[in-house]
Amino acid sequence: MYIKELKLKNYRNYEDLTIQFENKVNVILGENAQGKTNVMESIYVLAMAKSHRTSNDKELIRWGEEYARIEGSIEKYNRLTALQLIISKKGKKAKLNYIEQEKLSQYVGAMNVIMFAPEDLNLVKGSPGVRRRFIDMEIGQVSAVYLHDLSRYQKIMQQRNHYLKMLQMRKQTDQTMLDVLTAQLSEAAAKIIHKRLQFISELQKWAQPIHFGISRGLETLIIKYKPSVDVSEEHDLTKMINVYEQKFAEIRTKEIERGATLAGPHRDDLIFFVNDYDVQTYGSQGQQRTTALSLKLAEIDLIHNEIGEYPILLLDDVLSELDDFRQSHLLNTIQGKVQTFVTTTSVEGIDHQTLREAATFHVQAGKLIDDK
């Protein structure tokens, strides 16, 4: 899979841009604050219908304009697919092959991307929310059903939290509605966890040998899912639903006192072990970075295994954050098989065949120029 053409209209600092890319490594060079990351972000937004940098879509619209439009022509399964995303103050509209999609969950997954930015090096040592977002974004790319279940869970939880607040403030005393919402939440939670546990098992299968290679055979990576409720991979869906219902029955009084849902997928976490030590707590910065890099590289193979195509890789200013050995491992992994976009201020000091054969573009003040 690769993106052949990208068009931007009123996106961040780009007034109007049309650019063609090759199915290989594309290096985007430029000084800071000229718009390198904006190009990278636009490809991510085109795929995921949301930014990795901001939750406020209005920031994506060029100053003084009413809307931003991103269009892309991608080749996937040997045929061209046209994608379009329009972002306005009223919301987002997504089109797939010129047909508007009713739900964004029907659109996400048409184009698969993996973003690796400096903040992703915080995947291991960052907050649990960072790791949950990582899981949700990656599963969502290959499973529209998961996105639907996640959206449903979040809506039910909102309603349940509202009702718990009403009970807390004694504006409600009847708990029948809480029973109904708890049953619905338990079912939605079980579906999400079932898929997450499958994903983590697959992710470890791909990440473990990569980590072993980067650490020169000295480290073994194990990824464990840490649920807020006592469920495991051995449980079927019915058993998981029962476990959630029992948990919510146990903590009902506490939840009413707090006015919030205190268990479920929104409270879960991932733990990474290297040679049986928790990397977040006991690992060096190098081990944490190796773990993050292994996870990102594992996603390439995982997505290929799921959909039969390699995703597009976005490396936003991350090469300079890695030492020579990790740089080489990353570039060797992508060489010749993944369309990759690299943003950097300079490629000096990075001596690798992949970059010598790359297409190069220069960015200056919202203009992107092909160096051909």
What is the rounded CA–CA span in Å between residue 140 and residue 158? Answer: 21
User: What is the Cα–Cα distance from 45 to 51, expressed in whole angstroms?
Assistant: 5
Coil, strand or helix at 4 = strand
- Which residues are within 8 A (CB) of 42 and not within 5 positions of it... i.e. 6 or more apart? 6, 8, 11, 12, 14, 70
CB-based contact 80:23 (threshold 8 Å): no
Q: What is the DSSP letter of 232?
A: -
As given in the structure block, the two tokens for residue 130 are 């960072």
**Binding residue numbers for ATP:** 30-37
* DSSP reduced 3-state for 104: helix
118 close to 318: Cβ distance less than 8 angstroms: yes
Q: Please enumerate, by residue number, every residue annotated as part of a binding site.
A: 30-37
**How many CA atoms within 13 Å lie on the side-chain side of 296?**
31
Rounded CA-CA distance 151/251 in Å is 24
What single DSSP character describes residue 62? P
Nearest CA to 239 among 293, 291, 197? 197
Q: Which residue has the tokens 């406020």?
A: 56
